[in-house]
Amino acid sequence: MIIFKHALKRSLAQPISILITLILPIGIIFVPPLTNSYPNGIYLYGLLSLFSGFILSKPIVEERINKISVRISATPTKYSSYLGSHLMAYASILIVQNIIFILGIYLYWKDLNINYGLIFTLTSAYSLMVIALSLCWNSLFRSYNLSFGLFSGFASLMCLVSGVTMPLQIIPEEIKRFIVVLPTYWLPYGLNSLHDGNIKYVLIAQLVLLVYSGIFLLIGSKRRY
Amino acid sequence: MTAKIMYSFIMIIQTLILFITIFSQITNPIVFLLFIIIILSMVLRWRINLKPCYMLIDLTFFLLAAIFYPVATNYIFIFAYYFSYKNKLIYTLPLIIVGLIVNDGSYYLLLLQGLLFGTILYNWDKESNSSKNTIDHLRQHIYDLEFVQSKLLSDYQDTDRISRLTERQRIAEVLHDNLGHELTAAHLSLKAYKALMAANQFERANVTLNKSEKRLENALHQLKSSVKSIEPNLEIGLLDINNLCDNFIYPVEFVHSGDILKLEPYIWQLILMTVREALTNITKHARPSKVNISLKVTDYSVRLTIENDGIINNPREISGHGLRYMRNRLEAVNGSLSIQRQNTFKLIIFIPFERSK
């Protein structure tokens, strides 16, 4: 619990964390729908959440680079407890971000017929996937700046082709066969399914995101010094 | 490349084969969900060392899924690869039963290749592990032997020190028992002579003086015989080296300088061991016309040089086990071993020692 509190305080101490958690979600609420679907801001939220998760995971990378994790390994603290507490802290912040965003949607788009509970579970599953992906991605690099630089390009491209920044409806079916492997695809897919009333597929999208979280977590949690 | 890396590499290929197999239906969320579940299952095994029997839970899940979604049968050939790599072929029985139900040629083909790759990798892993274990065992054995050898040498030095003390004790006893009596008697006789001379009893004084002289003669005689009886036969070491040289197949010239009698027995043992090992090595690895052995003893060290002119160029032979053992044994007594290879092959050992007190 001490590590969890420390990770939470440390993340919230960064002004950029406040900006991405509280200000930016409010900013994208007003983006109107482009096609016959939900307001585009809900889809763009996937991009915001992706970068939020990545920026929030910075301390854990810095601790690895600064060899703090080596010192921690010499203490009675278990690596699983250290990692779990950090990830829980980041997940908590992202879930708060989700609540703020969904509350904003509820207040601004009053006439929108939407299942807020499912939106919340879907965005929460997406947030978990984002944190696990950030952990996995960062585990491949020894420098946060290099990692962030490459991730910016990769994430933007991934969001563009997987229906986060560009509506899925305009992406050709042939390309869709390939983009299903992208984890970000499953947020707009889930949202579209929700819009179409296919609750079963919304749940599958959530499951896929959770399985992705598990895979990324297993790869990223490998202890590296 | 280890079998484990190869296993991961083939697992990636198996996953790609699976992806290609289901590619036409990949946009179906159920198909994709099953696909990433199987990836999760394999990543979990890669990350955490779970017992192969736990994989039966995953297999059961896919078999149950196959009841509702027949496409799930396309996935299960990966389990055949996993189980055969873990040498649990009995667990592949459900897969064969499914094959009988499905009765599809491509299913059998995928199942067969999975079994084949898994079995080959298992045997490779087993073989490489067995060789690795044998090498480790032998290495451990060599280290143990070296340790025992150095301990023995150290014990030998201790024993030598104890025997030297015992010998000193014996010499002291010999001197006390033989010389002590005679010299005490001579001393008393001389005192009596002095007293008789003072009392002007010249005749008796003369008799006493003669007795003293006789006692001193006896003491001198006993001193000589004692020295002879306690003196060690220090020529034995030299004789051994001479014997080795005389019986060697190539001509050997042995020269020595300095007081070789001051060498301790354990140093003699090291010298003999080195000469024996060096001559054996020459027999094996050189074709000399002549071998020169030089033993130089100074006040605080001994230097032995063994030189031969029959070098055969093979650098691998320089650091064999024999030389390594020799070096370890010499280092145990603060000595050193060095090799010079120019026109001739020269083995030099240097042993420092404390001067006997």
User: What would the DSSP string read from start to end of B78-145?
Assistant: HHHHHHHHTT-GGGGHHHHHHHHHH--HHHHHHHHHHHHHHHHHHHHHHHHHHHHHHHHHHHHHHHHH
For residues B339 and B347, is the Cβ–Cβ distance under 8 A?
yes
Neighbours of A124 (CB within 10 A): 18
Residue B321, pLDDT > 80, answer no
Query: Are B222 and B248 part of one and the same domain?
Result: no
Task: DSSP letter for B24, please.
Answer: G
> Which residues from A are below 8 Å from B43, CB to CB?
214-215, 218-219
Confidence (pLDDT) at B320: 65
For residues A29 and A105, is the Cβ–Cβ distance under 8 A?
yes
Whole-number Å distance between alpha carbons of B93 and B76:
12
Decide if B29 and A173 are in contact by the 8 Å CB cutoff: no
Confidence (pLDDT) at B215: 86
Confidence (pLDDT) at B123: 92
What mean pLDDT do residues B94-122 have? 89
Query: Are B329 and B246 part of one and the same domain?
Result: yes
Whole-number Å distance between alpha carbons of B36 and B212:
114
Among B288, B291, B225, B224, which residue's Cα sits nearest to residue B255?
B291
Residue B280, pLDDT > 80, answer yes
Q: Which residue has the tokens 């490779």?
A: B124
Confidence (pLDDT) at B170: 78
Burial of A94 (0-12, 13-18, 19+ CB in 10 A): buried
Q: Which residues of chain A have pLDDT under 50?
A: none
* Mean pLDDT for all residues in chain B: 86
> Which residues from A are below 8 Å from B23, CB to CB?
177
Q: What is residue A129's three-state secondary structure?
A: helix
Considering only CB atoms, B33 lies closest to which of A207, A214, A219, namely A207
Decide if A177 and B26 are in contact by the 8 Å CB cutoff: yes
Query: Are B120 and B10 part of one and the same domain?
Result: yes
Residue B148 lies in a domain: no
Chains A, B: CB contacts within 8 A come to: 41
Cα of B25 to nearest chain A Cα, Å: 8
Whole-number Å distance between alpha carbons of A142 and A62:
9
Residues 102-131 of A with CB under 8 A from B: none
Query: Are B242 and B221 part of one and the same domain?
Result: no
- Among residues of chain B, what percentage have pLDDT more than 90? 29
Residue B327 lies in a domain: yes
Continuous segment of H or E residues that includes residue B352: strand B345-352
Whole-number Å distance between alpha carbons of A45 and A188:
10
Q: Which residue has the tokens 């763009």?
A: A44
Query: Are B347 and B240 part of one and the same domain?
Result: yes
> Which residues from B are below 8 Å from A221, CB to CB?
47
Q: Which residue has the higher pLDDT, A62 or B73?
A: B73
Residue B179 lies in a domain: yes
Phi–psi pair at B58, nearest 5 degrees: -60, -40
Decide if B27 and A177 are in contact by the 8 Å CB cutoff: yes
What mean pLDDT do residues B176-181 have? 78
Cα of A143 to nearest chain B Cα, Å: 24
Q: What pLDDT band is residue B233 in, cutting at 50, 70 and 90?
A: low
Query: Are B173 and B107 part of one and the same domain?
Result: no
Task: DSSP letter for A21, please.
Answer: I
Last residue of a domain, one of B230, B251, B285: B230
Confidence (pLDDT) at B357: 47
Residue B134 lies in a domain: no
Q: What is residue B257's three-state secondary structure?
A: strand
Amino acid at B122: Y
B23 part of contact set with chain A, CB < 8 Å: yes
Residue B57 lies in a domain: yes
Query: Are B180 and B282 part of one and the same domain?
Result: no
Q: What is residue B335's three-state secondary structure?
A: coil
Pick among A178, A196, A202, A211 to test the B interface (most B CBs inside 10 A): A211
Show the DSSP H helices in chain B as ranges: 3-22, 29-47, 55-68, 77-85, 93-102, 105-174, 181-198, 202-230, 235-246, 265-285, 321-331
Confidence (pLDDT) at A31: 84
Cα of B87 to nearest chain A Cα, Å: 25
Give residue B62's domain range.
3-128
What mean pLDDT do residues B216-225 have? 86
Phi–psi pair at B306, nearest 5 degrees: -125, 115
**Pairing mode of beta strands B301-308, B345-352:** antiparallel
B162 part of contact set with chain A, CB < 8 Å: no
B26 part of contact set with chain A, CB < 8 Å: yes
Last residue of a domain, one of B82, B109, B128: B128
The model carries a pTM of 0.66
Whole-number Å distance between alpha carbons of B327 and B321:
10
Last residue of a domain, one of B187, B210, B230: B230
Phi–psi pair at B156, nearest 5 degrees: -60, -40
Continuous segment of H or E residues that includes residue B345: strand B345-352
Task: DSSP letter for A33, please.
Answer: P
Query: Are B248 and B224 part of one and the same domain?
Result: no
CA-based nearest residue in chain A for residue B34: A208
Q: Which residue has the tokens 């020529």?
A: B235
Residue B59 lies in a domain: yes
Least confident range of A92-101, B81-90, B268-277? B268-277
Confidence (pLDDT) at B355: 63
For residues A144 and A130, is the Cβ–Cβ distance under 8 A?
no
Burial of B130 (0-12, 13-18, 19+ CB in 10 A): exposed
Q: Provide the CATH number for the domain around residue B280.
A: 3.30.565.10
Query: Are B109 and B53 part of one and the same domain?
Result: yes
Residue B208, pLDDT > 60, answer yes
Query: Are B309 and B200 part of one and the same domain?
Result: no
What mean pLDDT do residues B51-75 have? 91
Decide if B40 and A211 are in contact by the 8 Å CB cutoff: yes
Residue B142 lies in a domain: no
Decide if B40 and A180 are in contact by the 8 Å CB cutoff: no
Decide if B33 and A208 are in contact by the 8 Å CB cutoff: yes
Rounded to the nearest 10 degrees, what angle do helices B202-230 and B181-198 cross at? 160
The tally of domains found in chain B comes to: 3
Residue B214 lies in a domain: yes
Task: DSSP letter for A22, please.
Answer: I
Cα of B61 to nearest chain A Cα, Å: 15
Considering only CB atoms, B39 lies closest to which of A180, A201, A215, namely A215
Residue B316, pLDDT > 60, answer no
